[in-house]
Structure 1
Amino acid sequence: MKAVFFDIDGTLIEGTHPDYRYMRENVQKAIRKLQEQGHYVFIASGRSLAFLDEKIRNFGFDGYVLLNGSVIFFHDKIIYRAPLEKSFVEKITSICDEHDMQYSLQGDFHTYVDKKFEYLIYRLGQYGIFADQLTFDYDKKAIDVYKLEIDSPRHEDRKYIIENLPEDMTYVEDMNHNYCHLEVYAKENSKATGALKVLELLNIDIKDSYAFGDGDNDIEILSTVGMGMAMANGSVKARNSAKIVVPSVFEDGVAYGIERYILSK
C-alpha cells in the first residue's frame, strides 16, 4: 500500500492556461490506476478547501493536506487543524490596512476577503477562483485563520510584512512585474508535516510515499517522502529538492511519474 500526494497549481493543473485548468485525461487515468490497486491519493496544496475546483473535489481523492499542512481532511473529516494566533492575524492585517495591501484570510472551509479588495478578487479570477468561492461577510475576530495571502502592486510592501513576522512564522513569495504576492503561515506546519501525519494515520512506511510538486512550498514534502518528483516547470529549489524531475504539467508529467516510478514497481 502506498500514499501519493499531489500539489495542484503547476502540477496537476496550470490554472492560468485555459487548456490545463483541469486534470488532463492521462493524469486522471493514472491516478485512478493507483486507487484501483489499493493505494491512497491525497491533494497537498497551499489552497484552502474553498479554493479547490469543484471537479477536483468531486474526483474522489482520499483526502487533502491543505493550507500548507495546517488543515488535513481524510474522507471529508478534519483530522488535524492548527489555526494561527488571533493576535498575530490582527497585527499583520493591521499592517496591510495601513499600507493599502490586500489580503485573504484562509479558513478550514471558507476563504474570507473584504469585498473592497477588487484587485485581489480580479487576480484570483485569473487563476479560476471566483467570487462564489469567497466569503465576504465575516467577523475577523470570530474566525479561525490558518494562512494569509497578501497582494500588493508595490514590491517594497513585502518588507513591512517580512520585518514583522515572528520567529515561528514563515512565508513564500511570488514576485513579478505586476505585483508581489506573499503566503504567510506557521513554520510548524508544512505539506511535509501533513504528509507524515497521514502516513502515521494509515500506517504506511515513508518508503512507500510519493509526492509531486513544482513550487517552493513543495520543497519540504519533496525532500521528506520516499520519492519526491518535481515538475520540469517547477522552481529551481523544488527541482533540487526532489529525487526525480518528471516532464512538465504541459506534458502530463504526473501521469508519466505515476506510470514510470510507482505503478511499474
Structure 2
Amino acid sequence: MINESGWNFLMDMDGVLVREEHLIPGADTLIGELRDNQIPFMVLTNNSIYTPRDLRARLLRTGLDIPEESIWTSALATAGFLEQQRPGGSAYVVGESGLTTALHDIGYVLTDRDPDYVVLGETRTYSFEAITRAIRLVENGARFIATNPDEKGPSREGSLPATGAVAALIERATGHAPYYVGKPNPLMMRSALRVLGAHSEQTLMIGDRMDTDVRAGLESGLRTILVLSGISDEATADRFPYRPTTIVDSIADLVGHTTDPFDGKSSSH
C-alpha cells in the first residue's frame, strides 16, 4: 500500500506515546494505523541513555511495537554530527551505553587521553571524578559537546538532574559552553529527516514540549502538533512567542486522521 497521505510523522516519545513506562491511550492504535498505511514515521527522544534496541524493548513492554530503525535518539544524532565534523576522531564520554555504542559504531575511539571531544550525555550515575576529568580535558582544549539541553527529567520520586544541568556545571567551571545536538537544535530534526528520507514540507512533528519539540519543528520548517498529555499545557503554550500549528489533548485525537492530521478532531483548540 502506498502512503496516500503524503505526510511523514516525527514524534517525541515521553509524554506523547508513553508516560513513566505506561502507554498513553491511543498511542498503540496510532502507531498501528501508521504502519498499516505505510506512512513513514520516526520516534525521537533526547534521552541518550538507551540504544534503539533498548528503547524498542522498553516500548514493547508498554504494548508499542516500534522497529529499531524507527527510533532516533540524541546519541545517534550526536554520533552523526561528529562523524561529519571529524571522522575517525576520539572522545571522552560521560554517558551510558546509548551514547558509547553510537560513537563506537561510527569508529570513534573512546579515551581520556587528549581526546578531540568531551561528549556529555544522560546518565543516572554521574561521578565527581568523571565530571572533574571532563572539566580538565575541556580546559586543555577538548571541544565540548552535549547530547541535549534538558536540565531535568522525571522519575517516580520527582525531578532528576539531566544533561543540561551537568553541562552548566562544566561550562561554569571551564568558561566553555557546549554545543547541544538534540532538540531544540534543528540539526536533530534534519538528521532524522535524512534517515527517514523525508522532506520538511511533508513532515509534521508531534511533541509535548513547546521549548524543545515545537521549537525544533518550527525551526526545521515542519508543521507542529502539541499534545497536552505531557509537559506543556495550553496556558504554558500561550506564554511562548511562537505557536504550534495545532493543539490536541493527546495522540488519541489523531487516530483516524493520519491521512489528514489537521482535519476534524485534530483541529486547534
The answer to whether structure 1 residue 5 and structure 2 residue 10 are counterparts is yes
Q: Distance in 1 between matches of 2:71 and 2:153?
A: 27
Q: Distance in 2 between matches of 1:237 and 1:166?
A: 35
Instruction: Quote the residue 1:119 is aligned against.
Output: none
Instruction: Quote the residue 1:243 is aligned against.
Output: 245
Q: Distance in 2 between matches of 1:110 and 1:202?
A: 18
Q: Distance in 1 between matches of 2:190 and 2:204?
A: 11
Q: Distance in 1 between matches of 2:55 and 2:112?
A: 25
Instruction: Quote the residue 1:45 is aligned against.
Output: 45
Q: Distance in 2 between matches of 1:68 and 1:230?
A: 24
Q: Is the 8 A contact 1:3 1:41 kept in 2?
A: yes
Q: Is the 8 A contact 1:174 1:180 kept in 2?
A: yes
Instruction: Quote the residue 1:63 is aligned against.
Output: 70
RMSD of Structure 2 on Structure 1 (CA):
4.8
Flag structure 2 segments of 5+ consecutive residues without an equivalent.
1-5, 104-109, 168-177, 264-269
The partner residue of 1:207 within 201, 209, 214 is 201
| CA offset digits 1:181-228 (Å, max 9, x no partner) | 334573355463233234345553322211111234324433235321
Q: CA deviation at 1:40?
A: 0.8
Greater than 6 Å deviation, 4+ residue runs: 83-88, 142-145, 164-168, 175-178
Q: Judging changes above 3 Å, is the alpha-carbon distance between structure 1 residues 28 and 222 closer, same or farther for their aligned structure 2 residues?
A: same
Q: Is the 8 A contact 2:217 2:224 kept in 1?
A: yes
Q: Judging changes above 3 Å, is the alpha-carbon distance between structure 1 residues 198 and 8 closer, same or farther for their aligned structure 2 residues?
A: closer
Q: Distance in 1 between matches of 2:74 and 2:181?
A: 12
Q: Is the 8 A contact 1:67 1:146 kept in 2?
A: no
Q: Structure 2 length as normaliser, TM-score?
A: 0.55
Instruction: Quote the residue 2:30 is aligned against.
Output: 30
The answer to whether structure 1 residue 181 and structure 2 residue 162 are counterparts is yes
Q: CA deviation at 1:45?
A: 0.4
Secondary structure class of the residue paired with 1:47: coil
Q: CA deviation at 1:44?
A: 0.6
Q: Distance in 1 between matches of 2:38 and 2:160?
A: 44
Q: Structure 1 length as normaliser, TM-score?
A: 0.56
| CA offset digits 1:206-259 (Å, max 9, x no partner) | 222111112343244332353211221323369755222221xxxxx1121353
Instruction: Quote the residue 2:254 is aligned against.
Output: 257
Q: CA deviation at 1:166?
A: 7.4
Q: Judging changes above 3 Å, is the alpha-carbon distance between structure 1 residues 42 and 166 closer, same or farther for their aligned structure 2 residues?
A: same
Q: Judging changes above 3 Å, is the alpha-carbon distance between structure 1 residues 218 and 179 closer, same or farther for their aligned structure 2 residues?
A: same
Q: Distance in 2 between matches of 1:188 and 1:220?
A: 14
Secondary structure class of the residue paired with 2:162: strand
Q: Distance in 2 between matches of 1:189 and 1:244?
A: 23
The answer to whether structure 1 residue 234 and structure 2 residue 234 are counterparts is no
Q: Judging changes above 3 Å, is the alpha-carbon distance between structure 1 residues 140 and 3 closer, same or farther for their aligned structure 2 residues?
A: same
Q: Distance in 1 between matches of 2:179 and 2:254?
A: 31
The partner residue of 1:217 within 212, 218, 231 is 212
| CA offset digits 1:161-188 (Å, max 9, x no partner) | 9xx9978767221289865333457335
Q: Is the 8 A contact 2:214 2:224 kept in 1?
A: no
Q: Judging changes above 3 Å, is the alpha-carbon distance between structure 1 residues 260 and 237 closer, same or farther for their aligned structure 2 residues?
A: same
Q: Is the 8 A contact 1:45 1:67 kept in 2?
A: yes
Q: Distance in 2 between matches of 1:254 and 1:194?
A: 22
The AA in structure 2 aligned to 1:242 is P
Q: CA deviation at 1:32?
A: 1.6
Q: CA deviation at 1:43?
A: 1.0
Greater per-residue strand proportion: 1
Flag structure 1 segments of 5+ consecutive residues without an equivalent.
16-20, 73-79, 94-102, 112-138, 248-252
Q: CA deviation at 1:150?
A: 6.1
Q: Is the 8 A contact 1:222 1:230 kept in 2?
A: no
Q: Judging changes above 3 Å, is the alpha-carbon distance between structure 1 residues 87 and 198 closer, same or farther for their aligned structure 2 residues?
A: closer
Q: Distance in 1 between matches of 2:195 and 2:11?
A: 18
Q: Judging changes above 3 Å, is the alpha-carbon distance between structure 1 residues 200 and 9 closer, same or farther for their aligned structure 2 residues?
A: closer
Percent identity among equivalent residues?
11
